[in-house]
Amino acid sequence: MEDGLGQKTAPVIVITGTPGTGKSTTASMLLEASPIPLKHLNVGDLVKQHGLHDGFDEEWQSFLVDDDKVIDELEPLVAPGGVLLDWHTCGIFPERWVDLVVVLRCDHTLLWERLEKRDYPLKKIQENNEAEILQTVLDEARDSYSEEIVVELRSETVEDMESNVSRIVQWIENWQRDHPAS
């Protein structure tokens, strides 16, 4: 979604948060509600599908992601804009790509329950729960991008998610108004 001059005609939005905070659910809801077409890229799925990793860590039950491979894979997909990046981290994405970073947050007790339902190993539940308590993902977003594009949103109930999607839709409409197509 570029105009003829290489300008984005649609934003790049990152939805991030500790595993279990509702990133993929929020992304799915946003795809349906968005006033413009967005391409949803679940980065974790891309890592698996395209081998963007250096193997699998059995202890942590996760892939050892190769950040350079991820960036190389995403660059041509993100450049035109109109992309929704969905991942548990955000700091590897170049600042020039990103127009909005939405960090989803959740009460750690509820998060624990969600991760148990996913059959995560206890060690992984503890690590992710600690990361949420220490606001690791939020701090990473604030350290990686200018404060005016980072938004922290609660994501504990369906009502929270609906409200979050409405806020993001409003942001997209404002972005469109501020970036008229040439």
Residue 155, annotated ligand binder? Answer: no
Is residue 3 very low, low, confident or very high in pLDDT (cuts 50, 70, 90)? very low
Where do we find the tokens 């250096």?
Answer: 54
Mean pLDDT of all residues in 146-172: 97
Residue 62 lies in a domain: yes
Write the pLDDT tens digit of every residue in 4-47.
Answer: 445 678 999 999 999 999 999 999 999 999 999 999 999 999 99
Burial 140-168 (b: 16+ CB within 10 A, else e): bbeebbeeebbbbbbbbeeebbeebbeeb
Residue 44 assigned ligand-binding role: no
Is 99 part of any domain? Answer: yes
pTM above 0.85, yes or no: yes
How many structural domains does the chain have?
1
Q: For residue 29, what is the domain's CATH number?
A: 3.40.50.300
> What tens digit of pLDDT does each residue of 50-86 get?
999 999 888 777 888 999 999 999 999 999 999 999 9
User: Which residue type sits at 6?
Assistant: G
**What pLDDT is stored for residue 101 in this prediction?**
98
Contact 71, 92 (CB under 8 A): yes
Confidence of residue 2 (pLDDT cuts 50, 70, 90): very low
Tokens representing 117?
A: 């339902």
**Please, which residues bridge with residue 175 across strands?**
none
Give domain status of residue 148, yes or no. yes
3-state secondary structure of 55: strand
In a domain? residue 80? yes
**Residue 4 vs residues 64, 110, 174, 180, 181: alpha-carbon distances, Å:** 38, 47, 22, 13, 10
Let me know: does 80 contact 8? Beta carbons within 8 Å.
yes
Residue 49, classified by CB atoms within 10 Å of its CB into exposed (0-12), middle (13-18) or buried (19+), is exposed
The arithmetic mean of pLDDT across residues 144-167, rounded, is 97
20 is in an annotated binding site: yes
Ligand-binding site membership of 24 (annotated): yes
Indicate whether 152 pLDDT > 90: yes
177 marked as part of a ligand binding site: no
User: Is there a domain that residue 177 lies in?
Assistant: no
Q: What is the mean pLDDT of the chain?
A: 93
What's the DSSP call for residue 106? Answer: -
- Does the annotation place 62 within a ligand binding site? no
In a domain, 1, yes or no: no
Q: What confidence score (pLDDT) does residue 182 get?
A: 57
Give the pLDDT mean for 163-171: 98
